[in-house]
């Protein structure tokens, strides 16, 4: 199942955007682990996808 595409984040736009950018960089360093995979490894359930 494919998720939605990530929107670009401008790290110069503020502290939250910089933090998000740094988290994405860390995720890329791990080989681009999916959010679903990270949730499973952390012991969290994945939210069900709903369509309107």
The 8-class DSSP code of residue 43 comes to T
Per-residue pLDDT of the chain (52 residues; tens, 9 = 90+): 566 788 899 999 999 999 999 999 998 998 888 888 888 888 887 766 655 5
Contacts of 20 (CB under 8 A, 6+ apart): 9
pTM of the complete model beyond 0.75: no
- pLDDT for 2: 61
Q: Nearest-CA neighbor of 5 among 48, 35, 31, 29? A: 35
Three-state DSSP class for residue 40: helix
């Amino acid at each position: 199942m494919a998720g939605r595409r990530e929107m670009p984040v401008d790290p110069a736009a503020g502290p939250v955007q910089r933090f998000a950018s740094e988290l994405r960089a860390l995720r890329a360093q791990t080989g681009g682990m999916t959010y679903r995979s990270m949730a499973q490894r952390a012991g969290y359930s994945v939210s069900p996808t709903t369509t309107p």
